[in-house]
Chain A
């Protein structure tokens, strides 16, 4: 059946979501569902074909998810068996960690500065500007440090890994590795995942420190709080969260567990999309975009669940 409605008319059909779905099932063509499953098919047939299409799409998603977890399992598993590509691991630690240092320092420093500035305005109302250090440290160590470092690394490193592996896929270099008797996951994914697991917590610590330092500059220059007082309140904040095993501040546990997980998410997402790239150079672009979007969303969503989990385990 061919609709005589214009695209705008199709899009502007009034009705509730339920009635819209009914419209779609009754007349998928008229409701902008392109292309129709089979032209001239009866309503039950079209409904069946439409459901089959949803079914296939769901299967593809689940299969992709399964591949993601298999990749994760193998990447970690290969770290405990020979051959181990130590040189590649060091190279990736340099690429992921050392080369990301500048942007992490920069973003951390300015985030700390803006946090101090904003909290100074708010705290001034209550005459509590002395607590700027507590606010900046609490925010940076527990949340902003890990999340910001994660997002920056997802953008810089995740896209790089996906583009590199995607290019290797479309230029047959992954197939070449296979034919030369090397498991591409062992050679390419394991070093990247391990490097990200090690380097992201390190970058986060640097990010936290840069942020607190940025806060201290604003606290001293804009609000007039002595540096020693500022750093004293920073320590108060860390100590107020409590300790596990007597000496390890709970704030540090929050701040280091998260980047460890984020590192795994970034490297696995990038290797997953990179290794399954298809469609030439255009496919490489798609893989890169998907990596950054997926990794960023996963970081923000999983951050909530890790926080919830850590609070329920460690308290506060």
Chain B
């Protein structure tokens, strides 16, 4: 081993040479080749994969390195994270970058404690990174005030791991909440919208609308959570472990719902999940977090075809 920086190690490279990851997946005409992979050297292999993806971006834009000014035009889009560094007592995320185009479904996978849910909090600006920038709908949200951040959050719908329905409110009041808060819709229009969203998530409005969250099953609560998240017709939907703790059939239903949202409404989604099977079904791209960094970002096909030991281990028997 030498002290030379690993290929693609962004932290060792000059700022002007740090480029965002490519998101369209097209092959690079002049991308640098993947360095020789040494057996067992997972870090090196993962860095190489990343470098390959970075090379894609450079090739796509026809230059060897983008400066800070035109890097914005690449990063901005429906949603983007750029060189995020976040630490509390110790680093949580280091140099994390990826972006989503309109209608993309990005699955964020990784072992427990690798900072997957933290990414959602960064996108919602519940957390502010120490370094790096976050873009939502072409707007940098990193420096926004608390009140402006509340407005940006209205562009996003969030589905929590535990559904996080307000347990003192009925299903109707839960879904109507964002509409009452941020729109001037009349009560009749709100009723209509709530019924529409409940039907979209395959729940019978007449049956559940007056029920309390405690009276619902886990799967139904998740679906009501999705209905509440999409009540305001957001551009971006964020899901935190949407299928965890559910039986296989309900898992399939929730996965189908997320796909339906993307297919019928063109919503951009970020799904944090352990469930690699669902991720492969629904995601247009998968980001794998390992050791606080993006170990892989690409299509499910690219992931399945990868011979990286870590990725193979992560995919397990799938």
A contact set with B: CB distance below 8 Å? 83, 167-168, 171-173, 175-176, 178-183
Contacts and interface: CB of A to CB of B under 8 A. Distances in A.
Nearest to B166: A173
Interface residues of B, number: 22
B90 interface: no
Contacts of A172: 160-162, 164
Interface stretch (B42-50, B176-184, B196-204, B288-296): B176-184
Nearest to A174: B164
B162 A171 contact: yes
Interface string B144-165: 0010001101101010111011
A86 to B, nearest CB: 13
A175 B161 CA distance: 12
B160 A181 contact: no
Contact of A181 (B161, B164, B167, B178): B178
A248 B238 CA distance: 59
Contacts of B166: 168, 173, 176
Contact of B164 (A83, A173, A183): A173
B124 A176 contact: no
Nearest to A164: B168
A241 to B, nearest CB: 44
Given A171-B164, A172-B162, A181-B182, 19 more contacts: A171-B167, A172-B161, A172-B164, A173-B164, A173-B165, A173-B166, A175-B164, A176-B158, A176-B160, A178-B124, A178-B150, A178-B153, A179-B126, A180-B153, A180-B177, A180-B178, A180-B181, A181-B154, A181-B178
Given A172-B160, A172-B162, A179 B124 contact: yes
21 contacts: A83-B181, A167-B167, A172-B161, A173-B164, A173-B165, A173-B167, A175-B126, A175-B160, A175-B164, A176-B158, A176-B160, A176-B166, A178-B126, A179-B158, A179-B238, A180-B178, A181-B151, A181-B181, A181-B182, A182-B150, A182-B181
A283 to B, nearest CB: 15
A9 B165 CA distance: 54
A167 B167 CA distance: 10
Contacts of B177: 180
Contacts of A182: 150, 181
A179 B167 contact: no
A181 B150 contact: yes
A176 B126 CA distance: 11
Which residue among A172, A173, A181, A182 has the maximum number of chain B CB atoms within 10 Å of its CB? A181
Interface of B: 124, 126, 146, 150-151, 153-154, 156, 158, 160-162, 164-167, 177-178, 181-182, 228, 238
Contact of A179 (B146, B156, B161): B156
B129 to A, nearest CB: 17
Nearest to B168: A164
B235 to A, nearest CB: 14
Contacts of B124: 178-179
A178 to B, nearest CB: 6
Which residue among B126, B160, B164, B238 has the maximum number of chain A CB atoms within 10 Å of its CB? B164
A45 to B, nearest CB: 21
Contacts of A175: 126, 158, 160, 164
A167 to B, nearest CB: 8
Contacts of A167: 167
A172 B153 CA distance: 16
Contacts of A83: 181
Contacts of A179: 124, 126, 153, 156, 158, 238
Which residue among A83, A167, A171 has the maximum number of chain B CB atoms within 10 Å of its CB? A171
Contacts of B160: 172, 175-176
B161 A183 contact: no
A79 B25 CA distance: 52
A171 B214 CA distance: 13
A180 B159 CA distance: 11
Contacts of A176: 158, 160, 164-166
Contacts of B182: 181
A83 B146 CA distance: 15
Contacts of B126: 175, 178-179
Nearest to A83: B181
Contacts of A171: 162, 164, 167
Contacts of A181: 150-151, 153-154, 178, 181-182
B157 to A, nearest CB: 8
Contacts of A178: 124, 126, 150, 153
B75 to A, nearest CB: 23
A197 to B, nearest CB: 22
A83 B181 CA distance: 9
A173 B154 CA distance: 16
A145 to B, nearest CB: 32
A178 B123 CA distance: 13
A175 B123 CA distance: 13
A63 to B, nearest CB: 14
A66 B279 CA distance: 43
Nearest to A173: B164
A180 B173 CA distance: 13
A183 B181 CA distance: 11
A268 B52 CA distance: 54
Nearest to A178: B126
A94 to B, nearest CB: 13
A73 to B, nearest CB: 14
A240 B153 CA distance: 60
A131 B261 CA distance: 78
Contact of A183 (B150, B167, B178): B150
A272 to B, nearest CB: 18
Nearest to A187: B181
